[in-house]
A = this chain, B = another copy of it.
Amino acid sequence: MHVFIVGGSDAGIAAALRIKELEPAIEVTVALADRFPNYSICGLPFYISGETSDWHQLAHRTEFGDIRILHDEPVTAVDVDRRVATTRRPDGAETLVPYDKLILATGAVPRLPDFLTVNAPNVFALHSMEDAFRVHAAVSSQDGLRAVIVGGGYIGLEMADALTRRGLAVTLLAKTTTLMPTVDPEFGVVVERELAQHGVAVRTQATVIGLEKISGLSRVVEESGERHDGDLIVAATGVRPQATLAAAAGVELGIDGAIRVTRRMATNRASVFAAGDCVETWHRLLERGLYMPLGTTAHKQGRIAGENAIGGNREFGGSLGTQVVKVFDLAIGRTGLRESEAVQYGFNPLTTDTEAPDHKPYYPGARPLRIRITADRRTGELLGAQILGDWQAEISKRLDVLATGLFHRMTVDALLDLDLSYTPPFSTPWDPIHLAAQDWLRTSRRQLRRGSTPTT
């Protein structure tokens, strides 16, 4: 059997590795559009910042056993009926590759505003290794540079951090009211403060409408008329699924143009599976597909696509959109639904915001953290959680306790029963998670007693 995988980033390589783990005799080919198999795209900001000195370190792995890797060999067409893929070799020649099973792991591409084009010499995206090399070279070219970042999501935030570390004067423009729209505005303003404290000029509700070229630099124009000069313009305006190959092959697309897949990662076409940033992702809580490209999800989906392509029958457990970002000295994470999403999907949410020290204050180094708990007023069911605090306050894995609770659809009340670890340097006898749950329950009871349902 020959499994042909289009794309060699997280999902594609995870699929290939899983197949080889289960059935070493199966022939596996991975076709890459570039020459960087399984690089950590999430690591690009740290390469730019200099925290990661050598880009080679970004490779998740460099050994692929007997998986056949085709470098710089994009797949230009697939004939699903005849099970043949067409690739374009580095020398330009087209090759036909017959296969038994196909896995599409074509990833995503930057979603840029019309007037921003990464072909312009000083406009940059940050999605591929080549992007990273371009930014790195530009940043290293001279001192005193100014950067304008368009986009207030986590990539924009990480780039603001990275470019500030490299000594650039950074302006960040976000179209949203607060930064990091994946968390509630109450946390977004803290992130904004963190950026400001490190010298980043932040503008929110900034709708960028154009780009002017002025002798070697670019000027970003806001709808308001405000203009921002930059030697570098970094577009961190999100991504969209790379699904043109799939569409041309007759594979059905769904939300946001992502490939429609079952929880088995099967497409509508026989013998064609898909995984990663190019597919719809099953949301565990909402029990429906959404477009939520995340590296963690890509690895999981790729592994399942690989297993099922060779006859397995595993279902993807679903995503909760669990995510964490480090911005300067702050860690911010979220899992499940934020308040406005919970409303949007028909829940009746109550969200509380609890501050607690990360560990007993009598032990040195205690720092306050904040936990937001979103749960349904009627059922008490946990819908989502957000945590924010010092980056060394175990924010990420504390969030994961809540993500694990959410995975099991726990109520807020049941969180109190969790037997979590405690020693004064690491926690409090009731962990901040417990304290946040108690806070939610108290607030909920108080509001019930008053017969009102205001939002906090």
Decide yes or no: A421 and B404 within 8 Å by CB, A299-B429, A426-B396 being known contacts. no
Partner of A51, one of B284, B303, B363, B408: B363
A322 within 8 A of B: yes
List the B side residues contacting A404 at CB < 8 Å: 401, 404-405, 408, 418, 420
List the B side residues contacting A57 at CB < 8 Å: 361-362
Minimum Cβ distance to chain B for residue A193 (Å): 20
A274 within 8 A of B: no
A238 within 8 A of B: no
Minimum Cβ distance to chain B for residue A37 (Å): 15
A394 CA to B426 CA in the complex, in Å?
9
**Pair A360/B40 contact, Cβ less than 8 Å:** yes
B-contacting 9-mer, from A144-152, A201-209, A313-321: A313-321
A427 within 8 A of B: yes
A36 within 8 A of B: no
A114 within 8 A of B: no
The closest CB in chain B to the CB of A333 belongs to B421
A25 within 8 A of B: no
Minimum Cβ distance to chain B for residue A413 (Å): 9
List the B side residues contacting A424 at CB < 8 Å: 40, 42-43, 46
A52 within 8 A of B: yes
- CB within 8 Å of B: which of A389-425? 391-392, 394-401, 403-405, 407-408, 414, 416-425
A361 CA to B442 CA in the complex, in Å?
43
Decide yes or no: A326 and B416 within 8 Å by CB, A362-B40, A362-B52, A394-B394 being known contacts. no
List the B side residues contacting A43 at CB < 8 Å: 360, 362-363, 424
Minimum Cβ distance to chain B for residue A320 (Å): 4
Interface size on A, residues (CB 8 A): 71
- CB within 8 Å of B: which of A360-395? 360-364, 391-392, 394-395
Minimum Cβ distance to chain B for residue A47 (Å): 8
- CB within 8 Å of B: which of A6-44? 10, 21, 40, 42-43
Minimum Cβ distance to chain B for residue A435 (Å): 11
List the B side residues contacting A298 at CB < 8 Å: 429
A280 CA to B319 CA in the complex, in Å?
39
List the B side residues contacting A422 at CB < 8 Å: 42, 295-296, 324, 396
A430 within 8 A of B: yes
A362 CA to B40 CA in the complex, in Å?
10
**Pair B421/A323 contact, Cβ less than 8 Å:** yes
The closest CB in chain B to the CB of A441 belongs to B21
**Pair B51/A364 contact, Cβ less than 8 Å:** yes
A433 CA to B216 CA in the complex, in Å?
49
- CB within 8 Å of B: which of A278-302? 284, 295-300
* A47, A326, A427, A429: most-surrounded residue (chain B CB, <10 A): A429
Decide yes or no: A46 and B362 within 8 Å by CB, A299-B430, A401-B397, A427-B396 being known contacts. yes
The closest CB in chain B to the CB of A358 belongs to B397
A60 within 8 A of B: yes
Decide yes or no: A394 and B391 within 8 Å by CB, A43-B424, A335-B419, A403-B419 being known contacts. no
Query: Could you pull out 21 A-B pairs where Cβ atoms are within 8 angstroms?
Result: A40-B429, A58-B362, A60-B429, A284-B419, A295-B422, A303-B416, A317-B419, A322-B420, A324-B422, A324-B426, A324-B427, A395-B426, A396-B426, A397-B398, A397-B427, A400-B420, A400-B431, A403-B420, A404-B418, A404-B420, A407-B419
A residues contacting B by CB (< 8 A) are 10, 21, 40, 42-43, 46-47, 51-52, 57-58, 60, 284, 295-300, 303, 316-326, 331, 333, 335, 360-364, 391-392, 394-401, 403-405, 407-408, 414, 416-427, 429-431, 442
Apart from the given pairs A331-B426, A404-B408, 4 other A-B contacts in the complex at a CB distance below 8 Å: A46-B424, A323-B421, A397-B400, A400-B421
